[in-house]
Structure 1
Amino acid sequence: MPDISVGTQIFDLIFHPTDSLVFTGLLTGHIEAFSYDEQGNHEHKLSLRPSKRSCRALAIDEDGGKLWTAGKAKAIHTIDVPTGEIVETRSNAHDAPVNRMKHLTQFMFASGDDDGVVKLWDSRKPEAVRSYNQHFDFISDFLYLPDGKQLVTTSGDGTLSVIDIRSKKTEPIAQSEDQEDELLSIVPIMGGKKFVVGTQLGILSIFNRQKGWGDCVDRVPGHPHSIDTLCALPSSYPSSRSTILTGSSDGLLRAVQLFPTKLLGVVADHGEFPIERIAVDRGGEGRWVGSAGHEEVIKLTNLREVFEDEDADEDAEENEDEEEEGDGGKESKKSGSGSESSSDDNEESRDGGEQLDEDEKDEDEKEDEEKDKSETGARQNTDSSDDESEAEKNKRKRKNSKNPLHVAKRAKSGRKHVGADGSFFADL
């Protein structure tokens, strides 16, 4: 799909939850919206300038009727999407420039500023419902957990915190230890049981919800530069539970699989320009992933084209497994019929042996015993060689599958780590 040029740096982008429409927040303070279709055509739909200062953050409600914008001017503007008009302005909503916003429930959304202050807002009220001050550096990302009505925030101060939006307390219910690195982005994996956090040093830190938010349980290095933004794959893809999209300051949008750690490939290339935001349309369940950096364009990439080879490979593997199982069943049937015929031959030989005289019977018995001994020895040698070859195969399988990416778990001292080869992304 052709790139959508906007003419200036993009700070944030967000898709309409149901329509083929993408909104961008620009350095000039403009809000630009574009429609797109499956053939790659796009059309400019909306241009607003709520503020002369940069627009850094966007949020949209569940039906796409209201769009909230904020930025360096410290104000929050509400835009009615169907009419394209600004219907409300909350002046001086923060004491510092607003860096991130997130829609939470039907009437509630959150905002975070450069000083680490998080505020909860009711769209029906002009003033903030609550304000939180547990962070002392910029708020980099939000993640909402609807099952627990919890808001997870990441910050440049090296910690993440968890806020219960139902509680009237202005303290978080949990906050991590200092991770000794700026936390820039967060995304859920494994059905929301674990969470991946992107950091300034290019490490993916993994938190386990069941083990608490105090510290990460694993660390996956490999990105050569900071991981500024993360995004989950649509749930329709088989690998979505452990595969994420990462946007790095080196300009590459990658598909990375975790458990086991594996680079699936580069989805989009922004050249030397850092990637600020990535998102998937249709509420995260669509076919297009949008990415924006400093080169003044939106790149829309068709996920079906990127991952169709993966689906085809999985189908081929399943077919191969089924064929192997079918061949194994045929061979077992053949071997079973062979054993039946051999048993019939034995019975016939026993019946014929009754007609021999005593001397001939003794000689035949001796010959049969010697033959049985030789056959038994041959079978034992064959079985042992088969066992040895099978053991060698298993040994090779274990050796090859043990660590395909040279990932080694370090000693359990302090934090748990998953170390990866330094050349994890060296070829890209």
Structure 2
Amino acid sequence: MPVIPLGSQIFDLAFHPTSSIVYTGLLNGKVKAFTYDEQGTHSDAFTLRISKRSCRSLALSPDGSSLYAVGKNRTLHTIDTGAGTVSETRQGAHDAPINRVVCPTPHLLATGDDDGMIKLWDPRKQDAIRTYTQHFDFISDFLWLQDKKQLVATSGDGTLSVMDVRSKKPEPIAHSEDQEDELLSIVPFKGGTKVAVGTQLGMISIFNRNKGWGDCVDRVPGHPHSIDALCALPSTYPSSQNTILTGSSDGLLRVIELLPTRLVGVIADHGDFPIERIAIDRAGEGRWVGSVGHDEVLRLTDLREVLEDEDERDTRPEDDNEEGDASGDEGDDAVHPGLSLAKSGIADRDEESGDESDVPKPRKRRKNDEKDLKGEPQKKGRNQVDVDPSFFSGL
């Protein structure tokens, strides 16, 4: 597995949509870019010190010509990726440190800060075009819904909200109920009809767009620690419609199928250090998945090596799996031989039932200040979740 050492804690990464270039935002305020080849061998592209404070989030324009960087200095930086220089700086873009940025279209940019404020920007204009204040805690992630031209935001206040960017009203068109847990990450699946949300207590909350955004329709337990990052598989994989990648604070990068739910495997391990962000190159359709966190390295995992054999097994006739189906295990759907399951902490679940009887644990605040993110190892607690023994019987 190729590893790129950075020398500082990494808050975010972004892959160029068409070129083999990856950008990283660091705790020391630097943005570092690297090129890589088919073998994962890397070389330095450029290094910029945009601030003395942390760079928390990065977002590339759809064509990859501009990189937007935000962080604790409350400034929105625009970087020319071709020249490797800062082309524009919007100081005081927010009144609080900016936690997330996303650029879904060439003329739309969204930022969210630690106080829950969301701002929409037109990169061609200096000032924000709209401001939303429905959240009161940090904005943790964004999801762009292309079919509806809507932006979904998750927050540490335990709710998510949906904004129609075509509307001139500074109010969301939907705002969920309090989920009694911090919402940290979000990703679509099932062709975008459903959305998975990662939480502080390790639960994956499932929202069905056809049933509205008021409350989740299902909860998938299993992660022993918080789910800080979520990512969808490239559409070229047959199982991409219901398979996602999860990055947890226990340092494990997992592949999980949803509805019905099963663990496919663990494809990367950051040791005792939390994973902050994960992303797939080539605008989410490439072969390399990058994961970053507190261990100060960028790990590149080749999806072709760990998933292609699994997808080949998934395409076999159903009669090949009769024995596994009868016993309640996965039979021929066993994971790739190189994947670790014993430390996964994920149990199988049935098809979506809409049962919301899971009683959440007492809410635990997520420390979002850099003084608490100096890379101190966390215990994995991999044995905190009981797993049905039959899940492992066919492996």
- Give the TM-score normalised by the residue count of structure 2: 0.84
Change (3 A) 1:406 1:118: closer
Question: Does the 8 A contact of 1:223 with 1:425 survive in 2?
Answer: no
Helix, strand or coil at the partner of 1:214: coil
Per-residue CA deviations over 1:32-84 (Å, capped at 9, x if unaligned) read: 00000012210010100111111001111011000111100000011111111
State the partner residue of 1:283.
283
CA contact (8 A) 1:139 1:154 kept: yes
Amino acid in the other structure paired with 2:212:
G
Kindly indicate whether the alpha-carbon contact (under 8 Å) linking 2:99 and 2:140 is maintained by their aligned counterparts in 1.
Answer: yes
- Structure-2 change in CA distance of 1:72 and 1:241 (3 Å): same
1:124 aligns with 2:124: yes
Counterpart in 2 of 1:358? none
Task: Name stretches of at least 5 consecutive residues in structure 1 with no aligned partner.
Answer: 325-392
Secondary structure of the equivalent of 2:207? strand
Distance 1:408 1:290, change over 3 A: closer
Q: Is the 8 A contact 2:239 2:311 kept in 1?
A: no
What residue identity is the alignment partner of 1:52? K
Residue 407 in structure 1 maps to residue 336 in structure 2: no
Report 1:217-296 matches (<5 A): 217-296=217-296
Deviation at 1:2?
2.3
**Could you report, residue by residue, the CA deviation over 1:260-292 in whole angstroms, capped at 9, with x for unpaired residues?**
110000010000000000000000000000000
Instruction: Please show how residues 320-399 of structure 1 align to structure 2 within 5 Å.
Output: none
Distance (Å, rounded) in 2 between the aligned partners of 1:190 and 1:91:
40
- Residue identity over aligned pairs, in percent, reads 62
Q: Which residue is equivalent to 2:386?
A: 423
Aligned to 1:380: none
Q: State the shift of 1:418 in Å.
A: 11
**Paired residues of 1:153 and 1:160 also in contact (CA < 8 A):** yes
Greater helix share, structure number = 1
Q: 1:418 to 1:259 in 2, by over 3 A?
A: farther
Q: Distance in 1 between matches of 2:230 and 2:350?
A: 24
SS in 2 for 1:99: strand
1:28 and 1:52 in contact (8 A); partners too: yes
Q: Distance in 1 between matches of 2:388 and 2:284?
A: 26
The residue that corresponds to 2:74 in the other structure is 74
Sort the Cα spacing of 1:194 and 1:416 in 2 relative to 1 into closer, same or farther, 3 A: farther
- Please, what TM-score do these two structures have when normalized by structure 1? 0.78
**How far apart, in 2, do the equivalents of 1:139 and 1:307 lie?**
32
Aligned-pair RMSD on alpha carbons? 2.7
Once the two structures are TM-superposed, the CA of residue 221 in structure 1 deviates from its matched residue by 0.3
* Distance 1:80-1:313 versus aligned 2 partners, 3 A rule: same
Alignment of 1:5-404 (within 5 A): 5-315=5-315, 317-318=316-317, 400=328
The structural deviation recorded for 1:227 is: 0.3
State whether residues 135 and 157 of structure 2, in contact with CA within 8 Å, keep that contact through their aligned partners in structure 1: yes
Work out whether residues 218 and 352 of structure 2, in 8 Å CA contact, stay in contact via their aligned partners in 1. no
Deviates more, 1:304-313 or 1:123-132: 304-313
Question: Given the superposition, is the C-alpha separation of residues 410 and 303 from structure 1 closer, same or farther in structure 2, using an over 3 Å criterion?
Answer: closer
Whether the 8 Å contact between 1:198 and 1:229 is mirrored in structure 2 is yes
1:318 CA drift (Å): 3.4
Partner of 1:22, secondary structure, is strand
Name the larger-Rg structure: 1
Counterpart amino acid of residue 110 in structure 1: A
1:135, 1:94 → 2: CA distance? 15
Shift of 1:312: 2.8
